[in-house]
Structure 1
Amino acid sequence: MKMKLAIFSVLLVCLAGCQPDSIPVPKNQEPRTELTSPITGTPVPETESRPVMMVMINNHPHARPQSGLYLADVVVEILAEGEISRFAAFYYDHLEGTVGPVRSVRDYYLDLADGSGAVVAHAGGSPSALDRIRNEKSSSIDGVHQDEKHFTRVSFRKSPHNLYADLEVLRQVAADKKFPAYDGKQAYLFSRSAATGQGQTAEKIELIYHKLYKAGYQYDRASKAYIRYTEGERQTDRETETPLAMQNVLVVFAKHQVIDYAGHRDVDITGSGKGYLMQQGKAVPIEWKFRNGWIVPYSNGKEIALLPGKTWVNVLPLTGKVFFQ
């Protein structure tokens, strides 16, 4: 009996010594990892390649409140005709939900899309913009021409303020058309430390695009985000009533020029200029440069990091004004 116990003990020691330090996990059982979004700097679940969608969103008074703007990763606001601005809303982190009303595109918005490689969802466009899309074979989904069937006209608003789209449908259309996925280039530098720590107080921001159009933001300390206002009214999502909130507000000045009788503008967003960056209730002056389709802040020749999260870029004419307190 003692001999059997001794042999059993020796076997146990031998087996223990032969065990590997760790058991490898089969490849098909490896835990999913999180990636950092190149657009927002926030974690996103690892997933298959996907496009950046740039949706042209209407900002006419009859189009408010809009749908899906609160979901956008980056929003660029520029004047269209007259005193009305329009939003180029970029979606990448989350490609689901209703967006609209969808409106027409202009050449300077195509500068953003072409530079970043975004797929443009729009409702027609100016003659020069449509010519450019055709000539350059741009990644375009046009809701009033060849792709009308992929959009929806709603009954609670009048045309042209009643065209809507579903981001999942747009993504599928982009795949069916074999439009390229986003190449993953980092849109901005990101840091969890605000770059505006030594800046001026900017808890309330007022922007004057035109004598007949004003926008603004108010900093909410509880959520550590800016809340968007248009013409003094807090902007919310039509369906969810979620406030439009963002961690970074960029205000930049660019040359605007009316170029035809219809009031179409040429806006120089592919160059550089002056502006301000607002984060966490503070503002600092910046220089902006156009890089790969994105309007990027710099100071003394060095890129300024944004806070991880959403960013709104306001492109004002040189005659525009900004006030903060």
Structure 2
Amino acid sequence: MGHRAHSRRAALTAALLAATLTASLAAGCTGQGGDDARAPHHTPTRVPPPNPSLTAAGSPLAVKIDNVPAARPQTGLGAADVVYAEQVEGGLSRLMAVYATKLPQAVGPVRSVRESDLELLRQFDRPTLAFSGAQRKLLPLIDKAPLRAESPDEAPEAYYRGTGKAAPHNLYLHPARLLPAAPGKTALTTGFRYGPAPAGGTPATSRTVRYPAARFTFTWSPERNGWLVAMDGTPTVTTDGTRMAPATVVVQHVKIRTSRYHDMLGNHTPYTETVGSGQAEVLRDGRSFTATWSRPAAADGTTFTAADGSRMDFAAGQVWVVFAPAP
């Protein structure tokens, strides 16, 4: 009986410990029904190995990244192959970073997904999407989208809370806990083409794109052979001390309309239409090139055409695409 009683006490202790851990994670995890709710406050010690069968060959990682001043400096942004900047509620901005050629040790702060992100990601082959939450009514669309959704609800072991910022601006991702390895350049099915600069263009030293409550400024740096990024007038530096300087910046003029969703304050979410065609400006090699963009269907990449009708090539290196309201 003593042995049985001891076994019962051990089992009860284990059950209580498991319940406590579950409650703790539930309190700390981002519920997909809420926008940017809380997520794990610590780095889990048990890390299951990534399952290669869950990641299709050539499938990149896309991460929604916070971009308000309280979230800066960001982590892991310099390793992205493509960074998309989009307008969100209140005229603010958020970033979508796409990783294919290398995976940084950490990325963040991670924030919530928007409806138009699902359309933007259709150009990739079943990408893994890391995000912190979503509107409850958006969940069925996420479930149906041709992507692998990995919020802290699905992969709590991949996320942790940093100590340098206040919630909700301190949720970070360990990419290696979602993907076994970087998929490589073939995963970048964006339609972008890289090569020598085309003829023409005009010399450019700086370009600013404004949203109602945010702005991006790109200043040409011959020393970096790239465009130094500033957000809201402040130089953009990652947590490792590197100043962001993408080789190519694309100002893509798109229709930004009101979606059917809104945030907790009642502000309607802008919907950025990335399927269609329109005007664009491509910055590379210290010059500005007038271009047009075309993406006939959601599953297509986006092609850019120079003023003379030739395909617009980008400079080798990181590309920033800023979605600007069409005039």
When normalised by structure 1's length, the TM-score is: 0.74
Match runs of 1:1-325 below 5 Å: 49=57, 51-117=59-125, 118-136=127-145, 138-143=147-152, 145-172=153-180, 185=189, 187-191=191-195, 193-195=196-198, 197-210=199-212, 212-238=213-239, 240-259=240-259, 260=262, 261-290=266-295, 292=299, 294-299=301-306, 301-318=309-326
* C-alpha contact (below 8 Å) 2:87/2:93 kept by paired residues: yes
Distance 2:272 2:188 in 1: 27
Secondary structure of the residue aligned to 1:103 is: coil
Secondary structure of the residue aligned to 1:99 is: coil
Distance 1:91 1:137 in 2: 18
Alpha-carbon spacing, 1:137–1:187, altered in 2? closer, same or farther (3 Å)? closer
Distance 1:59 1:294 in 2: 25
* C-alpha contact (below 8 Å) 1:124/1:130 kept by paired residues: no
Distance 2:206 2:188 in 1: 34
Distance 2:200 2:248 in 1: 16
Max Rg structure: 1
* C-alpha contact (below 8 Å) 1:201/1:282 kept by paired residues: yes
| Deviation at residue 49 of structure 1 after TM alignment | 4.5
* C-alpha contact (below 8 Å) 2:59/2:124 kept by paired residues: no
Secondary structure of the residue aligned to 1:98 is: coil
Q: What do residues 249-293 of structure 1 show as CA deviations (whole Å, max 9, x unaligned)?
A: 100111112235432122211111111001111101111122746
Distance 1:114 1:265 in 2: 18
Alpha-carbon spacing, 1:185–1:84, altered in 2? closer, same or farther (3 Å)? closer
Distance 1:138 1:280 in 2: 35
| Deviation at residue 112 of structure 1 after TM alignment | 2.0
* C-alpha contact (below 8 Å) 1:111/1:293 kept by paired residues: no
Alpha-carbon spacing, 1:277–1:184, altered in 2? closer, same or farther (3 Å)? closer
Secondary structure of the residue aligned to 2:111 is: coil
Distance 1:220 1:232 in 2: 17
| Deviation at residue 160 of structure 1 after TM alignment | 1.3
Structure 2 alignment gaps of length 5 or more: 1-55
| Deviation at residue 142 of structure 1 after TM alignment | 0.9
Identity score, percent: 24
Alpha-carbon spacing, 1:90–1:255, altered in 2? closer, same or farther (3 Å)? same
Distance 1:72 1:125 in 2: 23
Q: What do residues 48-105 of structure 1 show as CA deviations (whole Å, max 9, x unaligned)?
A: 9553101111001110111111111100100111121111101011123211000111
